[in-house]
């Protein structure tokens, strides 16, 4: 019985999935952008021409305004004479760390809540899903602002705050899927044979949800990156002088008309990374969704 159950689960063959992703132009574009940002973040000390905190006297005009892009400062300088290109590269680290860590925590919490409520039903279902509904009733951005204002903002606090407001969607999805899978014959048979709840959840139900969780995890990173940028732009995210793409815009917004590159360049980076994860997530959804098999 166990062997049959495992074989009927939704398998995720990583090499096959990657090969199919690479055959999709939009997904390939997204993967290239993500790879470029990851490599830039990983090798920031070697790629950045200057320290992200170093201020240059020659980085400002006589009037004290930022310099436009040049051969010395590729993306120009910010309002205190720091190299914008270097700060963008180091800022990629912040955005990726928060995106991956916060979204990873959110996916773990949401999946655990959804699977537990969907399988055990009864009062467990009622308590967990009513709490999920309560969290969904609050606008995510407003709740994040409140939580960020309560706690002292830092890299890890911002990641935790974002995770606390982003787990509800994946909880709802996994809850619905778990209720459906829990009614199937092989799960009913396992219960009748006296299998422990943990064995049923992790050996038979979770494999069927794995593709859904992977897709939501990928799409969720884009949402997380945008939310971090929003919080940093509002001044309650990652605090300067630590560079993040959101607080770069926040710091330089007063020069929007006279030095627009200070806003447009980090804004374009945020947009490109969020779009890249969305493109990959959409492709994964089509590839891993059994109803889409054979259509591409």
SS3 track for 92-154: HHHHHHHHHHHHHHHHHHHHHHHHHHHHHCHHHHHHHHHHHHHHHHCCHHHHHHHHHHHCCCC
Q: How confident is the model at residue 195 (pLDDT cuts 50, 70, 90)?
A: confident
**Which pLDDT does position 215 carry in this prediction?**
82
Q: Is the pLDDT of residue 293 over 60?
A: no
For residue range 232-260, what is the model confidence (pLDDT) as tens digits?
777 777 777 888 888 888 888 888 888 88
Q: How confident is the model at residue 12 (pLDDT cuts 50, 70, 90)?
A: low
- Rounded Cα–Cα distance for residues 221 and 201 (Å): 26
For residue range 142-162, what is the model confidence (pLDDT) as tens digits?
878 777 777 777 778 888 888
Alpha-carbon torsion, ordered 285, 288, 290, 296, to 10 deg? 80
Residue 111: name the closest of 211, 13, 12, 18 by CA: 211
Residue 77: name the closest of 63, 56, 94 by CA: 56
Q: In this structure, are residues 158 and 148 in contact, taking their beta carbons and an 8 Å threshold?
A: yes
The domains of the chain are located at 19-55+74-292
CATH superfamily label, 19-55+74-292:
MetI-like (1.10.3720.10)
- Rounded Cα–Cα distance for residues 66 and 57 (Å): 11
Query: Which position has the higher pLDDT, 11 or 253?
Result: 253
In three-state secondary structure terms, 189 is: helix
Residue 140: name the closest of 108, 165, 103 by CA: 165
Q: Is the pLDDT of residue 89 over 90?
A: yes
Query: Which position has the higher pLDDT, 68 or 59?
Result: 68
In three-state secondary structure terms, 244 is: coil
Task: For tokens 């180091």, name the residue.
Answer: 90
Task: For tokens 């990583």, name the residue.
Answer: 14
- Rounded Cα–Cα distance for residues 82 and 95 (Å): 19
- Between 60-69, 77-86, 110-119, the lowest mean confidence (pLDDT) is in 60-69
Q: Is the pLDDT of residue 166 over 90?
A: no
Q: Is the pLDDT of residue 6 over 70?
A: no
Q: Is the pLDDT of residue 72 over 80?
A: yes
Query: What is the average pLDDT across 217-228?
Result: 84
**Which pLDDT does position 3 carry in this prediction?**
37
Q: Is the pLDDT of residue 59 over 60?
A: yes
In three-state secondary structure terms, 52 is: coil
Query: What is the average pLDDT across 118-144?
Result: 85
**Which pLDDT does position 295 carry in this prediction?**
46
- Rounded Cα–Cα distance for residues 232 and 247 (Å): 5
Q: Is the pLDDT of residue 33 over 90?
A: yes
Query: Which position has the higher pLDDT, 86 or 197?
Result: 86
Which residues have a Cβ under 8 Å from the Cβ of 147 and sit 6 or more positions away?
A: 161, 164, 165
Task: For tokens 């593709």, name the residue.
Answer: 211
Confidence (pTM): 0.79
């Amino acid at each position: 019985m166990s062997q049959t159950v495992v074989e009927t689960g939704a398998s995720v063959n990583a090499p096959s999935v990657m090969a199919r992703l690479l055959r999709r132009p939009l997904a390939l574009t997204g993967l290239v952008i993500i790879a470029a940002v990851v490599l830039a973040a990983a090798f920031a000390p070697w790629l950045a021409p200057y320290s992200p905190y170093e201020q240059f006297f020659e980085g400002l005009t006589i009037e004290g305004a930022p310099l436009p892009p040049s051969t010395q400062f590729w993306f120009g300088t910010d309002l205190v004479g720091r190299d914008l290109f270097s700060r963008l590269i180091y800022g990629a680290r912040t955005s990726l760390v928060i995106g991956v860590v916060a979204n990873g925590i959110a996916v773990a919490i949401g999946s655990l809540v959804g699977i537990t409520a969907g399988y055990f039903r009864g009062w467990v279902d009622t308590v967990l899903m009513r709490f999920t509904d309560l969290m969904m009733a609050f606008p995510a951005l407003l709740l994040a602002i409140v939580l960020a204002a309560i706690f002292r903002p830092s890299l890890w606090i911002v990641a935790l705050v974002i995770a606390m407001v982003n787990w509800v969607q994946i909880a709802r999805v996994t809850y619905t899927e778990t209720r459906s899978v829990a009614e199937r014959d092989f799960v009913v048979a396992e219960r009748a044979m006296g299998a422990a709840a943990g064995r049923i959840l992790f050996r038979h139900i979770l494999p069927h949800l794995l593709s859904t969780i992977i897709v939501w995890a990928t799409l969720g990173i884009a949402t997380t990156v945008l939310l971090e940028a929003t919080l940093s732009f509002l001044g309650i995210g990652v605090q300067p002088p630590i560079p993040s793409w959101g607080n770069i815009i926040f710091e330089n917004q007063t020069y929007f008309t006279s030095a627009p590159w200070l806003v447009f360049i980090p804004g374009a980076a945020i947009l490109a990374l969020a779009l890249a994860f969305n493109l990959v997530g959409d492709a994964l959804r089509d590839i891993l969704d059994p109803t889409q098999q054979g259509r591409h």
